[in-house]
Structure 1
Amino acid sequence: MSDFSPTRRNLLAGAAATTAGLALGPRLALAAPGARARPGAEPVRLFSNENRYGPCEGALRAIRESVHLSSRYTALDALQAFRQRVAEEEGVAPEQVLVTAGSLEALSAVAGQYALGGGGVVCSELTFPALPEYAETLGGKVTRVPLDANLAHDLDAMEARVGPGTKLVSVCNPNNPTGTIVDAKRLRDFCESVSPRATVLVDEVYLHYLEPSPANSMVDLVRAGRNVIVVRSFSKIHGLAGMRVGYALAQPDVVKRLFQWRMALPNPLSIAAARASLDDKQFVPRMRKLTQEARRITSAVLDELGLKYVAGHGNFMWISLGADQLDLPARLAPHGFHVATVPSNPIPANISALRLTLGTVEEMRAFGPALRATLKGRG
């Protein structure tokens, strides 16, 4: 794996990369969801960190069976049942669960609660920008701390910036867009040390791409009554980005305050789909293995082409680009691969990096020839 230092904090929701032919084992191939359209049938979106396999069959079935609820608001008993189900999953009380429209609503609510009126927010310089940008919009004073040499959160430097005016400290783990993680024990010690002085938010949207370990999550600190908020989403590994459902875990009084910042009503189809996805205990491990395979294939091609990158621990990779590669999105689009939201726009020179969303194993294999041809001047 190669590392590089980006030149700007702003996340580019783009991508680039891929393949060489490492075959899936029979059991993993059987575990994969149904075949998708071949590249070229429609543009393959390798940005936004969506799960290209889509939701599990149980979630799709729940959506189909709930279509008749599209004309209704979510029933209170259905929402309460979902909160209970999440609480059971996380080992917390239902009153410690705030259901939100994806993680974005949770992050916006947290920013509003702690930054309004000049509250101080400490976060990393290169991380998911929604919370700090919204905090600034509300008048918050945001302190951005550079990542360390490995492009991970520099917890020591972040703690050193916590002062009397600091209301919130935000850690995204795994970090978006670099995909790096911090040592679980070190993060837990950090939360224990900082939370008496400021609320600590841990964004765990990509946590399920890590091999499961109770130590990886900071939910145990919520259970222990600490001043910590954990945010999760069904948009990534669960494949429900378009359904907009996530949740925050915190102390009951914090949940009540965050509830006042809600900006959307729960979607009855989303609630049904998310609950069904929680019930499928095989889906997340399958997605994790398939993503690992896609990352391995991609890494092999990037190594072959001499590109520097951070392989990361989510469903994406952070890739450095040279000055002559900034138009890569536009050059790849004719091959049927969209690696940025607007492919015709070149990557700004002061960013010079792409965040690559990993597609299906089939898509990442097919993308290799296009990437080779484009970088070698044949596409």
Structure 2
Amino acid sequence: MVGKNAGNRKGGAISRRDWIRNAGVMSLGMALGGRLLGQAAPGAQSRIARYPELKHINLAGNENPFGPSQKVSMAIMREVGNSCRYPFREEEILKDRIAEREGVPSDHVILGNGCDEILALAAAAYAAPGKTVVSASPTYLQLGEHAEKKGAHVEWVSHAKSMQHDLQAMLSAVEERKAVLSYICNPDTPSGTICSAEDIKNYCIKASDTGAVFLDEVYLDLLPDFAAQTQVELVRQGYPVIIGRSFSKMHGLAGHRIGYAIARPEIVEKMGRYKMSSPSYLGVIAAIASVDDDAFHARSRELIAKGRQEFCSLLDELGLAYTPSVGNFVFHYTGIEIREFQKRMKDRGFLVGRPFPPYDDWCRISIGTPKEMADYEKAMREVFAS
């Protein structure tokens, strides 16, 4: 489009603005390279080649190493020249797309800079001195930590022995403490375990008699049957349930920081009072391109599941216990204090998951590209042979 407009100018002259726009698109095209030919997404190795200071392969972030999709890359190339604009109108388009896909009106959707901002907004909306928030432990900490910063008491409820949420214990804590908000990450992190849709539904219905429920589903769409697992129907039925989602995992857009929540309009409005900024223009464009790219979603699920299964086979061979993860990561026993394990792996070129007390000799590993996982297997064999 840029080239066509430029060519129509008298004498073939190109304005400064068009030259800059062309240069940006050309540079991005060269950076994306093989992505436009349908090749696999560039892994950490190519990043290290461009930026030698990134000398470690990161298997700690639970990213999708196979994204973004080709549709996203093309959309970014088309729109990079509009990066000077705020994405106010595009945000509405994205909310409409999400709402249509989830079967809710668009006023049930709020966007954020990653799901982290969504979690912070929920904490800001509900947590306060004298109030109680209930959360599992260990789990993703953002909501609980933000609630504590707001002066609320956070009741941390330990997992069951299966490393799943102890939903009955959490419900008891909600009812006894009159909690204004409770938080469940399902599938959970670091364990990757999942509670059944029926158990989660029953918890949400009972807990919502006391306060709101934040159900973090950022990993749920990695499951082939995620449509049968999600609890969006509870939002449609009017329960005070907040469904948190992200484009960082299955969609492969972690670097663009796009998250969203689905909730009743009055809850969306309540959370929105604390919103500080919009997501980036290109992040919104990327999400619009990705939201309905079902072929890429299916391929991502397939590749991640394959990588997870192969890594679990290695753990079986090494005699290391692990949880039945359904996420894009595996939580496994090491027999080594986690900080020492981190050091040994860093010495071999890998960054691995942070400590998750009280599991101080367990490690969470994100599934990387086949090349990354093959190299990591060699490092694992070195560590556990010594």
TM norm structure 1: 0.85
- Alignment CA distance shift 1:67-1:118 (3 Å): farther
Of 43, 48, 52, the match for 2:65: 52
What corresponds to 1:333 in structure 2?
A: 346
Q: Is the counterpart of residue 178 in structure 1 residue 191 in structure 2?
A: yes
As a proportion of its length, which structure holds more helix?
2
**2:140 counterpart of 1:133:** no
Give the letter for the 1:352 counterpart: D
Shift of the 245–38 alpha-carbon distance from structure 1 to 2, 3 Å rule, reads closer
Shift of 1:279: 2.5
CA-CA distance at 1:306 after TM superposition: 1.5
The number of equivalent residue pairs is 343
Q: CA separation of 1:331/1:119 partners in 2, compared to 1, >3 Å: closer, same or farther?
A: same
How far has the Cα of 1:362 moved from its partner? 2.9
Q: Note the C-alpha offset of 1:210.
A: 1.3
Tell me the distance in 2 between the aligned counterparts of 1:252 and 1:113: 14
Aligned to 2:82: 69
Distance 2:156 2:44 in 1: 42
Q: State the match for 1:263 in structure 2.
A: 276
- What per-residue deviation string (whole Å, max 9, x for no partner) do you get for residues 340-363 of structure 1? 57xxxx999972221111112232
Instruction: Note the 1:289-304 alignment, pairs <5 A.
Output: 289-304=302-317
AA in 2 matched with 1:172? C
Identity %: 37
1:279 and 2:288 are equivalent in the alignment? no
Identify if the C-alpha distance between structure 1 residues 292 and 244 changes in structure 2 by more than 3 Å, giving closer, same or farther.
same
Question: Cα gap change, 1:347/1:208 in structure 2, threshold over 3 Å: closer, same or farther?
Answer: closer
Residues 338 and 362 in structure 2, CA contact (< 8 A), matched pair in contact too = no
- Identify the residue that residue 111 of structure 1 maps to in structure 2: 123
Give the AA of the match of 1:119: K
- Give, in angstroms, the shift of residue 161 of structure 1: 1.0
Gaps of at least 5 residues in structure 1 are 1-29
Once the two structures are superposed, residues 117-155 of structure 1 have per-residue CA deviations (whole angstroms, 9 ceiling, x without a partner) of: 332111112110010011001101111111112101111
- What code does the residue aligned with 1:297 have? E
| Map of 1:249 onto structure 2 | 262
Of 50-59 and 227-236, more deviation after overlay is shown by 50-59
- Residues 1:246 and 1:35: Cα distance change in structure 2 (over 3 Å): closer
Distance in 2 of aligned mates of 1:250 and 1:350? 34
Contact 2:138 2:356 in 1 (8 A): no
Instruction: Note the C-alpha offset of 1:59.
Output: 1.0
Partner of 1:150: 162
Q: Select the residue among 101, 104, 111 that pairs with 1:89.
A: 101
**Contact 2:44/2:58 (CA < 8 Å) preserved in 1?**
no
Going from structure 1 to structure 2, the CA distance change for 1:129 and 1:81 (only over 3 Å counts) comes to same
Superposed CA offset, 1:273-329 (max 9, x none): 001011211111111111111111111111111112114111011122224674222
Alignment of 1:150-169 (within 5 A): 150-163=162-175, 165-169=178-182
Partner of 1:225: 238
Cα pair 1:124 1:153 within 8 Å, conserved: yes
1: CA distance, partners of 2:101 / 2:358: 44
Closer, same or farther in 2 for the Cα pair 1:53/1:213, shift >3 Å? Answer: closer
C-alpha separation in 2, matches of 1:154 and 1:349: 16
Residue number among 24, 30, 40 corresponding to 1:33 in the alignment:
40
On the 8 A contact 1:97/1:247 being kept in 2, the answer is yes
The one of 110, 116, 120 equivalent to 1:98 is 110
Q: 1:54 to 1:303 in 2, by over 3 A?
A: same
| Divergent runs of 4+, >3 A | 34-42, 323-326, 346-350
TM-align CA RMSD? 2.3
Alpha-carbon distance, 1:371 to partner: 1.1
Change (3 A) 1:371 1:347: farther
Structure 2 residue runs without a partner (length 5+): 1-36, 50-54
Contact 1:323 1:349 in 2 (8 A): no
**Closer, same or farther: CA 240–157 of 1 in aligned 2, 3 Å:** same
- In structure 2, the CA distance between the partners of 1:338 and 1:114, relative to structure 1 (3 Å rule), is same
Shift of 1:228: 0.6
SS of corresponding position for 2:276: coil
TM-score (norm 2): 0.83
CA distance in 2, matches of 1:165, 1:43: 46
374 and 165 in structure 1: CA distance in 2 versus 1, 3 angstrom threshold: same
Matched, 1:190 2:203: yes
Instruction: Indicate conservation of the 8 Å contact 2:322/2:332, yes or no.
Output: yes
What is the identity, as a one-letter code, of the residue corresponding to 1:47?
A
Secondary structure, aligned partner of 2:182: strand
Quote the residue 1:354 is aligned against.
363
